[in-house]
Amino acid sequence: MNIQVRIKEIRTEFDSEFSACLSLEDFNNLQRKYLSRKGIVASLFKEIPKLSADEKRSAGKHLNVLRKSVEEKISEAIQSFQKKKKIDLSMDVSLPGTPEIYGNKHILSQVMDEINSIFNEIGFSVETGPEVETDFNNFSSLNFPENHPARDMQDTFFITKDVLLRTHTSSVQIRVMMDKEPPLRFISPGRVYRNEAINARSHCMFHQVEGLYVDKNVTFAELKGTVEYFCKRFFGKDVALRFRPSFFPFTEPSAEVDISCFLCGGSGCRVCKHTGWLEILGCGMVDPNVFKSVGFDPEKITGFAFGMGVERPAMLKYGITDIRMFWENDIRFLHQF
Ligand code: DAH
């Protein structure tokens, strides 16, 4: 075939392949196909020596034109592609950002962190215990008599006769006293379980924070000071406290502590049921029988203990009206805190 015709054909072929190129890789392949040492253009050049002198000149001229135009078209395309790529990668600061959605700590964890840090300020460390407990740690060693109503199946989730879901964090008192020697000063936050109907005010699982201070000569005055310090830091410095005599098997004497309602300032509202007071915790001096059950000598050692719920203070402080919300994990609720 006449070389001029071949050149024309190659040109048309190149043009159509060129316009079909979509990516940088396509252009690089095209460049290799036409311009490499064994490429189409080079192979045409190799045919020149076979031609007559006249044909050589004109074929050489046309081939040079073809090569030049192929080179230019491809290198232009590659360059503009690289430029475009640069622009695409650069940041357009005028575009709106992609919003990042962060999770946040559950409100109960936040409240427990706050309680921990308040007690930490006055020298209480943190101890934890298991939610599945022995009857001994949960009841017997805490001086609950054999037939105490709290042991009843109606209140307690039993797993076996002697194993249960702990009904309070007081069991951690026993675990720590069995394990360590006085002086002991710790709080113990955690989940507890009771066989109760679920409604807006009560749930079958909730959280408590237990506190224990055991040493020589620990007094009720220190208990009062500790509880008062906590309440004023947690609820606000203006709250007043009221200690009411009460009963718990594991403390003697025992008290329940009310704070003045910080929502109405004590004048009476729906939340404090028009009494002006909110019940916050139970406390007392550790009963000698408890010390005996862990092998401490009640003649030498005294101590105070306290225990409070977490959900109720959290509900009061944050205006949460239904305890079930803590467990529903509705993102609209969780994100508010
Ligand atoms: N364990 C009690 C309860 O669950 C709360 C409590 C009361 C804990 C008095 C104490 C305490 O340590 O001294 O209701």
Q: What is the pLDDT of residues 95-121, one digit of tens each?
A: 888 888 888 999 999 999 999 999 999
Which phi and psi (to 5°) does residue 22 adopt?
A: -115, -25
Beta bridge partners of 286: 251
Q: What is the pLDDT of residues 139-157, one digit of tens each?
A: 999 999 988 888 887 799 9
Q: What's the number of domains the chain is made of?
A: 2
Model confidence band, residue 287 (pLDDT cutoffs 50, 70, 90):
very high
Residue 85: the pLDDT is: 65
β-strand pairing of 277-286 with 302-309: antiparallel
Chain mean pLDDT for the chain: 93
What is the domain range of residue 174? 107-334
Q: What is the pLDDT of residue 24?
A: 86
For ligand 1, atom 4: residue with the closest CA: 168
Q: Which pLDDT value is given to residue 88?
A: 63
- Strand ranges (DSSP E) for 194-315? 205-215, 241-248, 251-260, 277-286, 302-309
Q: Are 301 and 214 in contact (CB under 8 A)?
A: yes
Residues 175 and 290 in one domain: yes
Q: Are residues 150 and 56 in the same domain?
A: no
Q: Strand 184-193 relative to strand 125-126: parallel, antiparallel, unpaired?
A: parallel
Q: Which of 148, 156, 164, 168 to mutate to test the pocket of ligand 1 (most atoms within 8 A of CB)?
A: 168
Q: Are residues 155 and 61 in the same domain?
A: no
Closest atom of ligand 1 to CA, residue 250: 13
Same domain assignment for residues 166 and 289: yes
Task: Give the number of C-alpha atoms closer than 13 A to the C-alpha of residue 242, restricted to the C-beta side.
Answer: 11
Residue 120 CA, ligand 1 centroid: distance in Å: 20
**Percent of the chain predicted with pLDDT > 70:** 98
Mean pLDDT of 21-29: 90
Decide whether any atom of ligand 1 lies within 6 Å of the 144 Cβ.
Answer: no
Element (DSSP H or E) covering residue 49: none
Whether residue 24 is found in the same domain as residue 140 = no
Annotate 165-204 with b (16+ C-beta within 10 A) or e (fewer): bbbbbbbbbbbbbeeeebebbbbbbbebbbeeeeeeeebe
Check if 282 has its Cβ closer than 6 Å to any atom of ligand 1: yes
In this predicted model, what pLDDT tens digit does every residue of 88-98 receive, in sequence order?
Answer: 666 778 888 88
